[in-house]
Structure 1
Amino acid sequence: MEKMNKKKNKGGRKPKLNPAQNRYMFRLTDEENAKFLALFDQSGMDNKAKFIVSLLFAKEMKTVKIDKGTVDFYMRLTSFHSQYRSIGVNYNQILKLLNDNFSEKKALAYLYKLEKQTVEVIALFKKVVEITEEFEARH
């Protein structure tokens, strides 16, 4: 009976193979702390202890700088592409409705108007592609 109790798993977390048990403490002035926090923010790491260890043992430190203008441009470009896709879906729906519900002459008249608008959208999209290529060349 006692052998069965010893074999049962008691649960809990599995012990680490190489636990970090040694701890060091140091103090920073306000200026040093501000500089440390700035470096930590630039690194993109989520754990200050791992950041300090990577600095001490000269592991590669990752620095990420986020340009708000670039992020804003990317978000607007993404929304523009989603709108462009929705225009394509609406275009297909309109063509199907014109084909199903109108005579050939009336459908051609509406298609002519739609074609003019499509040319304007294509010109706008070409301009967006040029601006995007110019932006990529600068950044």
Structure 2
Amino acid sequence: MDKNNKSKQNKGGRTPKADPSIHRHVFRLTDEENAKFLSLFEASGMTNKAKFIISLLFGKEMKSVKIDKGTIDFYMRLTAFYSQFRSVGVNYNQIVKLLYKSFSEKKAAAFLYKLEKQTAEMAMLCQKIIQLTEEFHTNYLKK
């Protein structure tokens, strides 16, 4: 009875894998090849070099993420500009309310005429920005 009890008792430790990786292969690289390998490895975003090599050998899907500092900078500046553009729109609404509240209708219309000219210029500027953004997208992001 004690023999059966001892064989069923848990010995502790990690449970063995069903299909362990026991075959090892070694290869050597030159400095140039190693630099290229490391750059590919870093670009893949993987954390394990062995899994990276296996994915390359057996054609598994490998993701490669390239971070372009210029694109990030462009995106951040465009986002900041967009927030400023929105704040101008809020201020525009507040000015129109104040004009009609504080001045006579004739004076308010004169000020609104000037404001309308500036708004037309801003709309043209907005169209140029959209055109430049589309140009940037086609020339630099679609590579």
Same fold flag (TM > 0.5): yes
The equivalent of 1:58 in structure 2 is: 59
Provide structure 2 residue ranges, at least 5 long, that are not aligned to the other structure: 1-13
CA offsets, 1:84-110, max 9 Å, x none? 111111111111222222221221122
d(CA) in 1 for partners of 2:106, 2:16: 80
Aligned length: 125
**Percent identity over paired residues:** 61
Provide structure 1 residue ranges, at least 5 long, that are not aligned to the other structure: 1-14
TM-score by structure 2 length?
Answer: 0.68
CA offsets, 1:6-57, max 9 Å, x none? xxxxxxxxx8996886475857557244222201122133444542342243
Shift of 1:68: 2.6
What is the DSSP-based 3-state SS (H/G/I as helix, E as strand, rest coil) of the residue aligned with 1:45? coil
Q: 1:30 to 1:129 in 2, by over 3 A?
A: same
d(CA) in 1 for partners of 2:19, 2:104: 80
TM-score by structure 1 length?
Answer: 0.69
Q: Which region of structure 1 is more displaced relative to structure 2, 79-88 or 39-48?
A: 39-48
What is the DSSP-based 3-state SS (H/G/I as helix, E as strand, rest coil) of the residue aligned with 2:59? coil
Query: Which is greater in Rg?
Result: 2
The equivalent of 1:77 in structure 2 is: 78
Q: 1:55 to 1:85 in 2, by over 3 A?
A: same
Q: 1:49 to 1:97 in 2, by over 3 A?
A: farther
d(CA) in 1 for partners of 2:88, 2:25: 60
Root-mean-square deviation (CA, aligned residues, Å) is 3.0
The equivalent of 2:88 in structure 1 is: 87
What residue identity is the alignment partner of 1:40? F
d(CA) in 2 for partners of 1:84, 1:37: 43
